[in-house]
Structure 1
Amino acid sequence: MSSQPLPRKPRRPRPADPADATDGPLLDLNRYVPAFITFIGNKLSNSATAFYQKNFGVNVTEWRIISQLAIEPGIPASRICQVIGFDKGPVSRNLAALQKRGLLTIRTAPDDGRTHSITLTARGRAVHDKVIVAALERERRLLSCLKKDEREVLIDLLRRLHENLGAVTGQSTT
């Protein structure tokens, strides 16, 4: 009977000294624009989903789709993805849920049998018309800390940042 040594457990690396964590560069979260945009967007989306779900029975992604369809009736799913910046999977799932609830119709596009034309039903338009009142009120309350001219500057700056997203994503935003 040969006795072989038992394999040794691999050594775990020792935790870094907490003091080492301060040796490199750090983000200044009070000045880092991508963090501000992300934090604001996440908090707005989460609160909107809770509010819209409770009051209107739609989540924020469904609302974004509904509002886009009110602006551009008959658009394909690819256009919705492009405008709201979501991948096809979540948009497709939300479209299916909205269709099942009778808020929109999805038909083969008359000019191209490979794509679909998506439109709001009368019921979907009624939901839109209720939610938009709340959405605009939420926007008004959010921007209430700014003067009118500051709101215009903010909108212009956000539009320009949106148009420049390709500089970091490599994709067009239009």
Structure 2
Amino acid sequence: MTKDLRPLGDPGSEEFRVDAYPFYLLNRAVSRYNVVIEAELRAIGIDIPTWRVLMVLGEKAPRPIAQVARSTVINISTMARIVERMSRAGLIDSRPSSEDGRVTEIFLTATGQEKLTAARAVTAPIYRKLIRGFGAEDFGLLIDMLNRLHDNLD
């Protein structure tokens, strides 16, 4: 029988322990991951926010700036500065949406696509190391549980 750790992760519980609090553990994992990939990304001349935008646009482009901001979990005012910086670097370009001229869409340039390819190459080995020891079922369960945690916040 598995011990119920939920009370240990409840900040309102007398039994609370930080090491059983899921959001602490998630933040710890993401922070450590960012430290590891940041060094690799810096070596190819980009930062983490740029990498996030490249990855999202590499999946589907063009996209409205607001949609990229949501997908990258970056607030819109910060995203505007990132877009400006990436445009100056020649990584992305923008144009009015063909469906709604009030909406600006962004997309990768050829230089942006090259940078995305380089970023994928340096981050892929880290990802593979990170998921080592996770079988298909465990990994699927992890993805499902993370999505459920997110959905429960609505």
TM-score if structure 2 supplies the norm length? 0.83
Residues 89 and 108 from structure 1, CA distance in 2 versus in 1: closer, same or farther, beyond 3 angstroms? Answer: same
Return the alpha-carbon distance in structure 2 between the equivalents of residues 142 and 148 of structure 1. 14
Code of the residue aligned with 2:143 in structure 1: it is: I
Match of 2:88 among 97, 100, 103: 100
Return the alpha-carbon distance in structure 1 between the equivalents of residues 73 and 52 of structure 2. 11
Measured on the aligned residues, the alpha-carbon RMSD in Å equals 1.8
Q: Structure 1 or 2: larger helix share? A: 2
Which runs of at least 4 in structure 1 moved beyond 4 Å after TM superposition? none
Q: C-alpha deviations, 1:14-69, integer Å up to 9, x for none?
A: xxxxxxxxxx9474122100100111112212322222012x21111100001101
Instruction: Map 1:1-150; keep pairs closer than 5 Å.
Output: 25=14, 27-54=16-43, 56-150=44-138
- In structure 1, list runs of 5 or more residues that go unmatched: 1-23, 167-174
Code of the residue aligned with 2:136 in structure 1: it is: K
Return the alpha-carbon distance in structure 1 between the equivalents of residues 87 and 16 of structure 2. 44
Code of the residue aligned with 1:161 in structure 2: it is: L
Return the alpha-carbon distance in structure 1 between the equivalents of residues 32 and 130 of structure 2. 12
Q: Conserved in 1, the CA contact under 8 Å of 2:38 and 2:47?
A: yes
TM-score if structure 1 supplies the norm length? 0.74
- In structure 2, list runs of 5 or more residues that go unmatched: 1-12
Alignment coverage as a number of residue pairs = 142
Q: How far apart are 1:154 and its partner, in Å?
A: 1.2
Return the alpha-carbon distance in structure 1 between the equivalents of residues 109 and 24 of structure 2. 38
